[in-house]
Amino acid sequence: MARGNPTVISIPGDKTLKASFLLLAYADLGITLFALEVGLPEANPLVVGLLENKALLFAIKLGIPTAIAAFAPGRYLILATVLMALATIWNLVQVGITL
């Protein structure tokens, strides 16, 4: 257990897991921006509304994952990191198929 807070359990590689989660989130944004730049439509209906305001797009797609990585204990990021990796792979495949 972590010192000073008995309710937080630290896992080995906690910082590595958080960094991996953030890198995948940033890669997702990069893939989105690349796809838009080459003329591909945004497939995520939750993101379509953000496309007109790039500042809001950046704030949402970077701010939320950063807050999650900063405040969530690492053990909760395992599933989130796996899901983010799957989404990033899916996006890369879709962009590759379309191009």
Q: Supply 40's token pair.
A: 């591909």
Number of domains in the chain: 1
The answer to whether position 3 is within a domain reads: no
The answer to whether position 9 is within a domain reads: no
The answer to whether position 8 is within a domain reads: no
pTM, whole model, 2 decimals?
0.78
Supply the pLDDT for residue 63.
93
The answer to whether position 69 is within a domain reads: yes
Supply the pLDDT for residue 31.
93
46-88 pLDDT tens trace: 888 888 888 998 999 899 999 988 888 777 888 889 999 999 9
Indicate the range of 4-18, 31-45, 73-87 predicted with least confidence: 4-18
Give the chain's length. 99
Supply the pLDDT for residue 98.
83
Helix axis angle, 74-98 to 54-71, nearest 10°: 150
The answer to whether position 26 is within a domain reads: yes
Q: Look at residue 2 and tell me whether its pLDDT is greater than 70.
A: no
The answer to whether position 1 is within a domain reads: no
The answer to whether position 38 is within a domain reads: yes
| CB-based contact 97:89 (threshold 8 Å) | no
CA distance 66 to 49: 21
Residue 52: give the domain boundaries: 14-98
The answer to whether position 7 is within a domain reads: no
Ordered DSSP codes for 71-88: HS-HHHHHHHHHHHHHHH
